[in-house]
Amino acid sequence: MIIVILAGGSGTRFWPLSRLRHPKQLMSVLGGKSMLQRTVERVLPLAPERILVLTNRLQAEESAAQLAYITQVPVEVIAEPVGRNTAPAVGLAARLALSPDTVLAVLPADHVIPDQEEFCALLRRGAVTAGEGKLVTLGLVPTRPETGFGYIQVPVGSAGPGPFPVSRFVEKPDVKRAEQFMAAGNFYWNSGMFLWRADVILDELSRHMPELHGALAAMDVQDGRVTQETLEVFYSGVKGESIDVGVMEKSARVSMIPASFGWSDVGSWSALPEVLEGDGNGNIFINASGMVATDAQGCLAYGGGKLVALLGVKDLIVVETSDALLVCPRDRAQEVKGIVAELEMRGLKEYL
């Protein structure tokens, strides 16, 4: 098996901790190791033959540095010259497989999944189904009527551990439809985690994205590797498209395996309380040298190594870095990307 980790992304919603060169997946969002490091460590029990980390130029250096300590499995960081969404990246990964029946597991770098054992067990099951020629997608059992994710619909009555055939992929719904999906019981969150054989995905690309497949076929691959020059030519020549839209929504070979493990994509500061335990009053302190909470409740403080004192405040997010300080209510954490946009507009590049 080859693990393909998709690690691009700007992570503006975790500003000021996340920056252009230091996005969410390279951050120690939970304290300690970064999300990328945790993602890599999570798959080590599967003993993959290689781990490919696809990221962008700005983040390649730090990604490689963060993963230098991984010695059990070869880790290769691939710097995409330009962002072209996920289809070119997964196509490239398939071309780098030394054998056509190699199973590739494609995983985002910014998911929190506390139960490693359950996760690895599910990937092993997914690899079996993928080995049988399916495009496997993991569908997360929804725990709330979330409007921020796409959904996967399976036939009514699909029961048990799957795999299930996929009826259709559904775009992010509004609240009303999300509630209907929850009630119906045959809708799952589209996790962005996939498993397939190299030859199967390339075959499906040739069917549904022939242009991309052509560029992949023309690529000069030596011993499962390409030069940076080859990458430049490939990426500058292909169009940006997601593998969901380009292949998954069209292919007849898609299977979904339901995943019910604890999961969060920690899409913003407000999601951290889902995955971190607070004190008796639900306050979470990360990277604080000490804390005083007087009549404080439901706050998240990222302390920059300092003593953090919260007095009489509720549901606040407080984040401190070496050059910036953010304070906002938890239910407005999504708007942090607006601050980043304003800083960009004002030309304050040093804070991006």
Interface residue with its own copies among 20, 186, 324, 344 (CB under 8 A) is: 324
Minimum distance from residue 305 beta carbon to its own copies (Å): 8
Place of tokens 């993991």: 138
Q: Which amino acid is at 108?
A: P
Q: Is position 345 an interface residue for its own copies (rule: CB under 8 A)?
A: no
Q: Are 155 and 250 in contact (CB under 8 A)?
A: no
Cα(123)–Cα(341) distance, integer angstroms? 38
Number of shown-chain residues binding its own copies (CB under 8 A):
38
| Interior angle at CA 95, CA 91 and CA 96, nearest 5 | 120
Minimum distance from residue 129 beta carbon to its own copies (Å): 45
Q: Is position 21 an interface residue for its own copies (rule: CB under 8 A)?
A: no
Q: Is position 294 an interface residue for its own copies (rule: CB under 8 A)?
A: yes
Interface residue with its own copies among 230, 278, 316, 344 (CB under 8 A) is: 316
Q: Is position 290 an interface residue for its own copies (rule: CB under 8 A)?
A: yes
**End-to-end C-alpha distance for the chain, whole angstroms:** 37
Interface residue with its own copies among 338, 344, 347, 349 (CB under 8 A) is: 338
Q: Are 137 and 191 in contact (CB under 8 A)?
A: yes
Interface residue with its own copies among 231, 282, 339, 344 (CB under 8 A) is: 339
Cα(111)–Cα(108) distance, integer angstroms? 7
Select the span of 105-113, 173-181, 251-259, 327-335 touching its own copies (CB under 8 A). Answer: 327-335
Which tokens hold the place of 57? Answer: 């130029």
Select the span of 86-94, 101-109, 159-167, 286-294 touching its own copies (CB under 8 A). Answer: 286-294
Return the HEC string of 55-98.
EEHHHHHHHHHHHCCCCCCCEEEEEECCCCCHHHHHHHHHHHCC
Select the span of 36-44, 103-111, 226-234, 315-323 touching its own copies (CB under 8 A). Answer: 315-323
Interface residue with its own copies among 262, 343, 344, 347 (CB under 8 A) is: 343
Q: Are 188 and 258 in contact (CB under 8 A)?
A: yes
Site mask, its own copies, residues 99-128, x = CB under 8 A?
Answer: ------------------------------
Select the span of 113-121, 157-165, 174-182, 324-332 touching its own copies (CB under 8 A). Answer: 324-332
Q: Based on CB atoms, which residue is closest to its own copies, 167 or 334?
A: 334
From residue 23, give the alpha-carbon distance in Å to each of 9, 18, 63, 95, 340: 7, 5, 10, 27, 13
Q: Are 273 and 27 in contact (CB under 8 A)?
A: no
* Residue 321 burial by Cβ neighbours in a 10 Å radius (0-12, 13-18, 19+): middle
Select the span of 52-60, 153-161, 244-252, 311-319 touching its own copies (CB under 8 A). Answer: 311-319
Q: Based on CB atoms, which residue is closest to its own copies, 19 or 84?
A: 19
Select the span of 137-145, 161-169, 229-237, 298-306 touching its own copies (CB under 8 A). Answer: 298-306
Local structure of 252: helix, strand or coil: coil
Cα(213)–Cα(206) distance, integer angstroms? 5
Cα(296)–Cα(23) distance, integer angstroms? 29
Q: DSSP letter for 264, please.
A: B
Q: Is position 308 an interface residue for its own copies (rule: CB under 8 A)?
A: yes
Q: Is position 298 an interface residue for its own copies (rule: CB under 8 A)?
A: no
Local structure of 215: helix, strand or coil: helix
Q: Is position 310 an interface residue for its own copies (rule: CB under 8 A)?
A: yes
Select the span of 27-35, 153-161, 174-182, 316-324 touching its own copies (CB under 8 A). Answer: 316-324
* Residue 209 burial by Cβ neighbours in a 10 Å radius (0-12, 13-18, 19+): buried
**Nearest to 192, CA basis, from 151, 161, 154:** 151
Minimum distance from residue 244 beta carbon to its own copies (Å): 32
- Binding-site ranges for its own copies (CB under 8 A): 15-16, 289-290, 292, 294, 301, 303-304, 306-313, 316, 318, 320-329, 332, 335-336, 338-339, 342-343, 348, 351
